[in-house]
Amino acid sequence: MSKTVRKIFTDKSNGQGEIWEYKDFDEFCSIYQSTAWCSGGVVDKTLRALDYYKVPVYVLRDSENSDFYNKKMYIIINYPKITMFFRNDGVEFYTLDSLIKETEIDYSMYDLLKNLSQKGRMFTDSLKKFMYGKLSDEVLSDYQGVVKIDEYRKNDDFSASKIYIKFTEDRFRDVSNMQDSEFHLAKYASKKYYYGIDWSFRDYYMVDEDFDSGFWYLRLMDDENIKKLLLITKIYVDPKEYSDDEQKILNKANDNCDSLQSLYKILSNLFPKQMEEIVREMTYRMNEQLRDTIFDTIRDDFRKLKEYTGLEYDFFDETIETTVVDLWANAMSIPEKGLSPTKLIEKILSNYLDRNPLNDYEDYWNYENWSEVDKESLNEDLSKLFDYIIDETDTEKFQKYSEIYEHIKDRYGFDRPWEKTEPNGRIVYLTIKNLDPEDLKLELWVRLDSKNYRTKVSLETFETLLNQQQLFPLEKVLKI
């Protein structure tokens, strides 16, 4: 029997005929010359399949001793992007199910026919033909999902040619189990230039809360800035009250310092712009380290993917780039045959990622490494900000501010409502919100007769209001 003709199925149990495979147009038409496939309206389609695309056609027909199809025959023509079904008289069936309905074949044959009619099922064979110059790049590009081919020829070898296959974000995320945010990270990690994008792994408000609780990231500061911080602390915070904290700061302790907690509240009032800059600079440098470490991990994951499979994913074009020979070699290692380009890529990726899953890019804390923070740049900026605070300090004035601040904090507290009942039974609530560094007056919230007021008073006036026993014109004193 010729190499271009092959019987691939015989139904011996139910007598439902045979399926034959043909690869040569002339030999095919020497057998079926009286059909519409070779002399009627379908001839151009069989010719295009066998001569242009060089893919086989399949014929479902009666066996020699059977009359199951009443002498009717059916052809499956499988183009790269579409599969067509015709009866020998030229009648077309638009789906495999409609063909099966007419033939009334047993569904035991369904899986085989479904496989034979799978779109793009000859893609792997076409890759091999293209490598040896037996198929044009135009034909290979006709397969569903193939975006383009960059042909590279060495003698008659085209195996190093690049092939690009569409693989959408949704498909890639499904096969890799990536979250939307992880895909977004990987997308920008694949770029050579990603600066100017705000990567907020560690939030500004999170760092601000750390400073507010006395955690100043001392380990990121150099010795010179530690000395400056100690000097500022001694100016604004009573060193006797926090006698143990000086050694903590010198040792760059990782735990919270009560003195730094008080200092942050004081400096945030006195130098709000500078303290915001300090927090922002610290946040930026830590985010910078997290970004670089996470991006390096992502790049390493995808470098290994390319190293082991030859596949490279373009996150922006949503395509897989590889060489024809790498794609064909991968296809040879997969048991499933007859896969379309997209299904083949999906299978290759799935097999690799099952054994080598991508890292969890959302678990940011696993990537935190303070030794990799750009401490030189950080400390240059901190030094300037600390110098400004030291140079702008009016020692006498700010020591007075510090005394009042500590007195309020210890005795009355900030944001704590104090209730006072006047002799006439009227209830007043007084809350200290802040201490103004300019005039050393308290910013006071007053709730009186179900109404809220804001005003400023001296510490002496506040204490008089709070402790006065006789009736007095509260509205006049508060100027509300």
Task: Tell me: pLDDT of 324 over 70.
Answer: yes
344 — pLDDT class (breaks 50, 70, 90) = very high
Q: Which residue has the tokens 């999906």?
A: 346
Q: Exposure pattern of 237-252 as b/e (b: 16+ CB <10 Å)? A: beeeebeebeebbeee
Handedness of CA 386, 387, 390, 392 (dihedral sign): negative
* pLDDT, tens digit, 9 for 90 and up, residues 112-161: 888 888 777 788 888 998 999 988 888 889 888 999 999 998 888 999 99
* pLDDT, tens digit, 9 for 90 and up, residues 205-262: 999 999 999 999 999 999 999 999 988 888 788 666 666 788 888 888 777 788 898 8
Task: Tell me: pLDDT of 191 over 80.
Answer: no
pTM higher than the cut 0.85? no
113 CB burial (10 A radius; 0-12, 13-18, 19+): buried
Q: Which amino acid is at 65?
A: N
Nearest to 423, CA basis, from 463, 464, 471: 471
Task: Tell me: pLDDT of 455 over 60.
Answer: yes
What pLDDT was estimated at residue 177? Answer: 93
Residue 328 contacts residue 163 (beta carbons within 8 Å): no
Phi (first) and psi of residue 22, to 5 degrees: -130, 140
What pLDDT was estimated at residue 358? Answer: 95
What pLDDT was estimated at residue 163? Answer: 97
478 — pLDDT class (breaks 50, 70, 90) = low
What pLDDT was estimated at residue 122? Answer: 83
For all residues of the chain together, what is the average pLDDT?
86
What pLDDT was estimated at residue 231? Answer: 86
Nearest to 271, CA basis, from 414, 396, 438, 408: 438
365 — pLDDT class (breaks 50, 70, 90) = confident
102 — pLDDT class (breaks 50, 70, 90) = confident
Q: Which residue has the tokens 């060193």?
A: 239
Residue 365 contacts residue 293 (beta carbons within 8 Å): no
DSSP states along 187-238: HHHTSS--TTS---SS-HHHHHHHHHTT---GGGS-HHHHHHHHHHHHHHS-
More confident residue, 401 or 279: 279
Average pLDDT over residues 388-407: 79
Task: Tell me: pLDDT of 412 over 80.
Answer: yes
Task: Tell me: pLDDT of 283 over 90.
Answer: yes
What pLDDT was estimated at residue 61? Answer: 86
What pLDDT was estimated at residue 304? Answer: 96
| Angular region, 325: left φ>0, alpha ψ -120 to 50, beta rest | alpha
Task: Tell me: pLDDT of 315 over 90.
Answer: yes
What pLDDT was estimated at residue 166? Answer: 96
